[in-house]
Amino acid sequence: MRVPGLGYGARVRYRRLGDSGIEVSEISLGSWLTYGAGVQRDQTETCTRAAFEAGINLFDTSNVYGRGAAEVAWGEILPDYPRDSYVLATKVFFPMSDTDGGLSREQIQKQLDASLYRLRTDYVDLYQCHRPDPDTPIEETMEALTEVVQQGKVREIGFSEWTVEQIQAGLEVPGTRKWVSSQPQYNMLWRAPEAELIPFCREHGISQIVWSPLAQGVLTGKYRPGEQPPPDSRAASDDMSVAIDRYMSDGVLEAVQRLVPIAEGAGLRMAELALAWVLREDNVASAIIGASRPEQVQANAAASGVQLSRDVLEAIDEALGDVVVTGPRLANFAREGVKHR
């Protein structure tokens, strides 16, 4: 059901990021496969403006998105807004050249400085390790992250798609900064984080900032089994269709279509249903959305504050059946294991 007063033009609600003092909007704006890549600058600017108008304050990017282009795009736009009015998050790990990549002290310092230059800011609020780096001692990584916090370049630290073993190893390095956030893939179809990650993080004061809460747009219901993707959709774009294949089987698309009457019965759009489902989990601080049009930002922001009844949640589970992915899964480009000095 929709909470009275929330809808298009409404301001989103906020949640605390782990055990930090940072409050983030339940819906956040991301830039993977969009800004600096598949979406032009004027669209990026209008989507960013729409986010601010909706009360979205968390903007998530990475040095590797467009090989720096996504950071450059926001570096041209975000300085128009007061720096204390938004929470800026970026990431480090993936190769930026043949010789740059990973989570060594040298790379963390070098890549952070490059990100700050592209973003035209003195600091980021959240610096995230985009994947684990089992080739670098965990002590070196955690000490380097602590250094950049002490230098005033970073407020808090997080990670994306680490195993519980790797997270624990980071927490155990003495005298270093503690994680406050985790960024996993999480949605109605991909529930792998529920098995181990979310319970562990809840116990240790670490929040989830989830990516792909709409399963790359599949959970909006726009893709129909046996039909070609709409020409203006992410799946139809060479630049923006990365990693969508896992959701495009007829079995998955048929299951998603069974959600349509559930959303209608709850008085919700499909995107609102999917985002509200993710946000039902109190360990989730924010759900990252991608948008190429401002109306998408507004529609997704309307999911903030929506509460799903037990009957609706049970109907969702029944509709999706066995297409749901459960149990711990290793993310693409992630490796298990921890190296110590």
Contact between 114 and 68 under an 8 Å Cβ cutoff? The reply is yes
Q: Rounded to an integer, what distance in angstroms lies between the CA atom of residue 313 and that of residue 146?
A: 41
Question: Could you tell me the residue ranges of all domains in the chain?
Answer: 14-323
Strand ranges in the chain using DSSP code E only, listed in sequence order: 14-16, 23-25, 27-30, 58-60, 87-92, 124-129, 154-159, 179-182, 207-210, 284-289
The pLDDT value given to residue 38? 64
In terms of C-beta density within 10 A (0-12 exposed, 13-18 middle, 19 or more buried), how is residue 110 classed? middle
In terms of C-beta density within 10 A (0-12 exposed, 13-18 middle, 19 or more buried), how is residue 251 classed? exposed
Does domain 14-323 bear CATH number 3.20.20.100? Answer: yes
Task: Report yes or no on whether pTM surpasses 0.75.
Answer: yes
Catalytic residues: 65
Contact between 267 and 7 under an 8 Å Cβ cutoff? The reply is no
The structure tokens listed for 219 are 């959970």
Q: What is the pLDDT along the chain (341 residues), one digit of tens a residue?
A: 544 334 444 589 999 999 999 999 999 999 876 666 667 888 889 999 999 999 999 999 999 999 999 999 999 999 999 999 999 999 999 999 999 999 999 999 999 999 999 999 999 999 999 999 999 999 999 999 999 999 999 999 999 999 999 999 999 999 999 999 999 999 999 999 999 999 999 999 999 999 999 999 999 999 988 776 665 555 444 444 455 677 878 999 999 999 999 999 999 999 999 999 999 999 999 999 998 899 999 999 999 999 999 999 999 999 999 999 999 999 999 999 999 99
- The residues near 252 (Cβ < 8 Å, ≥ 6 apart) are 189, 218, 323
| DSSP annotation of 234 | G
**Cα–Cα distance list, 18 to 22, 56, 80, 148, 274 (Å):** 8, 18, 28, 19, 23
Q: Rounded to an integer, what distance in angstroms lies between the CA atom of residue 318 and that of residue 259?
A: 10
Closest CA to 144 of 117, 112, 104: 104
Q: 3-state DSSP call for residue 225?
A: coil
Contact between 290 and 33 under an 8 Å Cβ cutoff? The reply is yes
Q: Which residues of 184-216 are buried (b: 16+ CB within 10 A; e: fewer)?
A: bbbbbbbbbbbeebbebbeebebbbbbbbbbbb
In terms of C-beta density within 10 A (0-12 exposed, 13-18 middle, 19 or more buried), how is residue 128 classed? buried
Token pair 């048929």 in the structure block, residue: 254
The pLDDT value given to residue 338? 98
